[in-house]
Amino acid sequence: MTTPIISSITEPSAGCPDDRQLGAFDDVAEATLAAQTAFEAYLDCTLAQRRIFIEAIRDEATREENLHHMAVEAVAETRMGNADHKVLKNKYAATLTPGVEDLLMEAFQSDAGMTTMEYAPYGVIGAITPTTNPTETIISNAISMLAAGNSVVFSPHPRARHLSVWLVDRLNRALIASGAPENLITIVRKPSMEATAQLMAAPQIQMLVATGGPQIVNMVLSSGKKAIGAGSGNPPVVVDETADIPKAARDIVNGASFDNNLPCTAEKEVVAVSSVVPELVDRMVEEGAQVVSDPEILEKLRELLMSPDRQHPRPSWVGQDAGAILQAVGVTPDPGTRLIITVTTPDDPLVQVEMLMPVLPIVATGDAGAAIDLAIELEHGHHHTAIMHSRDVSRLETMARRSRTTIFVKNGPSYSGIGIEGEGFATFTIAGPTGEGLTSARSFARRRRCVLNASM
Ligand code: NAD
């Protein structure tokens, strides 16, 4: 069915004046009130209507010119990442995030009657989005949250606000044209710490979702409201002596260089059995990695890329090209270099810290058991993502069980864990701290027991 459903707001002249940025508000209170009004209208829409609205989001986000605009502008505004990879990420967010079909109902029947376990919306969700996947998170969250019957107020990262406001406008126009209430998606035009605090305290906000680093995740978790926290990781990749080394090298270079290592799921350090390290390094070089082994250059890299206390990456170097990083420390990049690798020790801050840049340290261990132990230690208990290359099923099972990560990729690049060249749905909000895991529509819905008594 393609005919508009709420005809009174589908007239382009009435609903979509071209000089407005639809859904964008200077004031947090106005953004939440508008989303609340939209939610109340949305409550009267049917599931069939929701499906149409979700399709409108998918169609709008996957228009070629919009995919191109989002990719190029994200790199320009955030000053990080790789535009070609961002096209893919946005496409997967729009096409592989589940919609209404994710809300699978359970039913119980007996002589006493029938009970169904259904999904009900929370209401208005406040969603805080990161710089690293600015548009991907808005697209994926909007699909999931609207599919579950909610409206949403986005608070983007200040370094991605222009593009985020543009996207929310595009999505609102597409939604309205498909018959949806205005302002199902709103956004705070100028995000700030005060605006985020106001959003969290707004009485209309029934659920908070933070996709970002530990600070914002802890903030929403201490808000006193229902909160979903999708936080940082430090994904290790283990390679043992049974692995297909050429394939492991290719997958690791592809995964760790994807969008210049911005995804929270991307390989952040390799832990390999020492006997395979020389071949692994050679093969990674064939795939586009460049080795840095001079201790002086390595120290320059740490100085350039890390905070003085070596606890954090320097924001200005997050998501930069490998070639630019090498040039900044006086090394000429080889043609086609997309990843910097170095063999180092586990205590190297480049190993310990989530760097979010195409610099991948490799640590050697005596055997596979030691590699698994060290990898789990380096993941720092985030329970986020781990990867392993091995043909030994029992070792794969051991690492999966012991790491307790939300995503565990076996013999593939890290991005196959979020549906890119891997089976399964996509999401850009991976909720390790609060346990929802890979979020989808049902993560943003409350459970409702509906009981029909047989004696009626
Ligand atoms: P960030 O924590 O700096 O920012 C995330 C969001 O929180 C932004 O909108 C920012 O404005 C807001 N924010 C942060 N601190 C705040 C404060 N004190 N007050 C108010 N608002 C605040 O993270 P980032 O650099 O944008 O993204 C990278 C981080 O996010 C990495 O640690 C990465 O692992 C993580 N991440 C996790 C997931 C996931 O699904 N688990 C997905 C993407 C990114």
> Of 292, 237, 220, whose CA–CA distance to 411 is shortest?
237
In a domain, 1, yes or no: no
- Domain shared by 144 and 285, yes or no: no
Say if residue 180 is in the same domain as residue 248: no
Q: What's the CA-to-centroid distance between 160 and ligand 1, angstroms?
A: 12
Residue 358 alpha carbon to ligand 1 centre in Å: 19
Q: Report if residue 2 sits inside a domain.
A: no
Residues 151 and 270 grouped into a single domain: no
Say if residue 106 is in the same domain as residue 211.
Answer: yes
Counting from 1 in the atom list of ligand 1, the atom nearest the Cα of 432 is 41
CA 156 to centroid of ligand 1, rounded, Å: 9
In the reported structure, the alpha carbon of residue 130 is separated from the centroid of ligand 1 by a whole-number distance in angstroms of: 5
Shared-domain flag, residues 223 and 364? no
Confirm whether the ipTM is greater than 0.95. yes
Measure 116 CA to ligand 1 centroid, in angstroms.
Answer: 37
Distance 208 CA to ligand 1 centre (A): 14
306's tokens: 């890390």
Return the H-helix or E-strand segment holding 417.
none
- Taking each helix axis from N to C terminus, what angle separates 277-286 and 245-257, rounded to the nearest 10 degrees? 60
The answer as to whether 429 is a domain residue is no
Evaluate whether residue 162 is within a structural domain: yes
- Largest Cα separation within the chain, whole Å, is 82
Q: What domain range is 133 assigned to?
A: 7-231+436-453
The CATH number for 251's domain is: 3.40.309.10
User: Buried b vs exposed e over 309-320: b needs ≥16 C-beta within 10 Å?
Assistant: eeeebeeebbbb
Q: Which atom of ligand 1 is nearest to the CA of 215?
A: 15
**Residue 38 maps to a domain:** yes
Task: Give φ, ψ of 453 to 5 degrees.
Answer: -80, 135
Return the residue whose CA atom lies nearest to atom 23 of ligand 1.
Answer: 212
Closest ligand 1 atom to 132 CA: 27
- Tokens (6 digits) for 402: 């012991």
d(C-alpha 143, C-alpha 145), whole Å: 6
* Residue 12 forms part of a structural domain: yes
Per-residue pLDDT of the chain (456 residues; tens, 9 = 90+): 232 222 222 233 344 556 789 999 999 999 999 999 999 999 999 999 999 999 999 999 999 999 999 999 999 999 999 999 999 999 999 999 999 999 999 999 999 999 999 999 999 999 999 999 999 999 999 999 999 999 999 999 999 999 999 999 999 999 999 999 999 999 999 999 999 999 999 999 999 999 999 999 999 999 999 999 999 999 999 999 999 999 999 999 999 999 999 999 999 999 999 999 999 999 999 999 999 999 999 999 999 999 999 999 999 999 999 999 999 999 999 999 999 999 999 999 999 999 999 999 999 999 999 999 999 999 999 999 999 999 999 999 999 999 999 999 999 999 999 999 999 999 999 999 999 999 999 999 999 999 999 976
Residue to mutate (ligand 1; options 79, 92, 128, 430; most atoms within 8 A of CB): 128
Distance of alpha carbon 261 from alpha carbon 210, whole angstroms? 20
Q: Ligand 1 site: residues with CB under 6 angstroms?
A: 128-133, 155-158, 191, 193, 196, 211-213, 215-216, 230-233, 264, 354, 428-430
The answer to whether residues 193 and 207 belong to one domain is yes
- Same domain for 449 and 407: no
297 and 184 within one domain: no
The residue type of 385 is T
Q: What does the buried/exposed string (b/e) look like for 392-407 if buried means 16 or more CB atoms within 10 Å of the residue's CB? A: eeebbebbeeebebbb
Q: Which residues of 126-150 are buried (b: 16+ CB within 10 A; e: fewer)?
A: bbbbbbbbbbbbbbbbbbbbbbbbb
Assess whether 26 and 45 both reside in one domain.
yes
C-alpha distance from residue 63 to each of 12, 56, 357, 403 (Å):
20, 11, 29, 39
**Ligand 1: nearest atom to the Cα of 230:** 41
- Are residues 215 and 313 both part of a single domain? no
**Closest atom of ligand 1 to CA, residue 195:** 20
Q: Looking at the domain assignment, is residue 350 inside a domain?
A: yes
Residue at 314 is within a domain: yes
311 shares its domain with 381: yes
What are the strands, taking DSSP E only, across 287-427?
A: 289-291, 339-344, 359-365, 385-389, 407-410
190 and 133 housed in the same domain: yes
264 Cα to the center of ligand 1, angstroms: 10
Residue with token string 């908070």: 208
CATH of the domain at 119: 3.40.605.10
Ligand 1 mean position, distance from CA 211 (Å)? 6
Structural domain count of the chain = 2
What is the DSSP-derived secondary structure letter of residue 329?
T
Distance CA 294, CA 299 (A): 9
